[in-house]
């Protein structure tokens, strides 16, 4: 497949679809639906819905172009041996990680709330990566998965912009990957954090990445030009 040109800020980015991965961060019921981890922290989870449609568009384009697709899930072992006390102890004692909620135990692997939302459910063969932290590289096998496929460009979507998306892009940038935040495919419980989070990535000539969007990605994968 020939090189594609992605309309992005601060500058367009040339990439090879065969060496690019779409990484969809934590589009889990626990973050997007009432009764999950996000709501227990006092957030309005409806704010994350804005990213669902654009993520579906990016996912469809990535699947059609044969890109590597990786879905991440933040969560912990049922015995919580991998959950740092400093993380668990935050929030109300009855609604912490591991407590029972309407979607099962909060942020625990295997529980309904830990699963990815139906609209973005992984297709057979797509990578599903469980991570205990905010970054997708921390305590996971993401790096070897990317190395084995010769990936050099990460197209990053998901929630939340300033937490797990940002952490993953920072980790990826330090490891030498070209990291692109797909702006409309990301969302935050704090709209101003979303906006500023994206500004931070692309400031200073793209200090740790690029910012683009779902329609620019779709156009690039179809080898059509589009402004960012
Ligand atoms: C948070 C995440 N916000 N996926 N996790 O705790 O961004």
CATH code at position 34: 3.40.50.850
The Å distance, Cα 188 to ligand 1 centre, comes to 9
Q: Which residues are catalytic?
A: 26, 131, 164
Q: Is residue 63 part of a domain?
A: yes
Q: Is residue 76 part of a domain?
A: yes
Provide the pLDDT for residue 1.
59
Q: Is residue 217 part of a domain?
A: yes
Q: Is residue 4 part of a domain?
A: no
Min mean pLDDT across 84-93, 169-178, 181-190 is at 84-93
Q: Is residue 11 part of a domain?
A: no
Q: Which residue puts its alpha carbon closest to atom 2 of ligand 1?
A: 164
Provide the pLDDT for residue 69.
98
Q: Given CA atoms 195, 199, 202, 207 in this order, what sign does their dihedral have? A: negative
When divided into structural domains, the chain yields a total of 1
As a whole number, mean pLDDT of residues 94-117 equals 96
Pairing status of strand 68-74 against strand 127-131: parallel
The Å distance, Cα 67 to ligand 1 centre, comes to 25
The ligand 1 atom at the shortest distance from the C-alpha of residue 163 is 7
Q: Is residue 205 part of a domain?
A: yes
How far is 126 from 124, CA to CA, in rounded Å? 6
Structural domain boundaries enclosing 164: 16-226
Provide the pLDDT for residue 227.
43
Which strands form 153-159's sheet, in the order they lie side by side? 127-131, 68-74, 20-25, 153-159, 178-187, 210-212
Q: Which residue puts its alpha carbon closest to atom 4 of ligand 1?
A: 164
pTM to 2 decimal places: 0.96
Q: Is residue 92 part of a domain?
A: yes
Buried-exposed string 32-62: b where 16+ CB fall within 10 A, e elsewhere: bbebbbbbbeebebebbebbbebbebbbebb
Q: Is residue 165 part of a domain?
A: yes
* pLDDT of 130 over the 90 cut: yes
């Amino acid at each position: 497949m020939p090189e594609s040109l992605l309309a992005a800020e601060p500058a367009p980015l040339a990439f090879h679809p065969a060496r690019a991965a779409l990484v969809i961060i934590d589009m889990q019921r626990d973050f997007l639906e009432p009764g999950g981890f996000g709501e227990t922290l006092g957030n309005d989870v409806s704010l994350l819905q804005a990213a669902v449609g654009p993520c579906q568009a990016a996912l469809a384009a990535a699947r059609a172009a044969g890109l590597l697709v990786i879905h991440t899930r933040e969560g912990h072992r049922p015995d919580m041996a991998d959950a740092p006390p400093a993380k668990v102890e935050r929030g109300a004692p009855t609604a912490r990680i591991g407590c029972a909620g309407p979607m099962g135990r909060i942020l625990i692997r295997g529980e309904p709330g830990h699963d990815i939302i139906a609209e973005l459910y992984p297709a057979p063969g797509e990578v599903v990566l469980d991570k205990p932290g905010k970054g997708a590289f921390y305590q996971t096998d993401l790096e070897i998965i990317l190395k084995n496929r010769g990936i050099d460009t990460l197209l990053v979507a998901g929630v939340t912009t300033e937490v797990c998306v940002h952490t993953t892009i920072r980790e990826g940038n330090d490891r030498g990957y070209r990291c692109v935040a797909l702006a409309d495919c990301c969302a935050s419980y704090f709209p101003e954090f979303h906006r500023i989070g994206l500004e931070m990535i692309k400031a200073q000539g793209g200090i740790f990445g690029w910012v683009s969007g779902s329609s620019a990605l779709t156009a690039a994968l179809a080898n059509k030009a589009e402004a960012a």
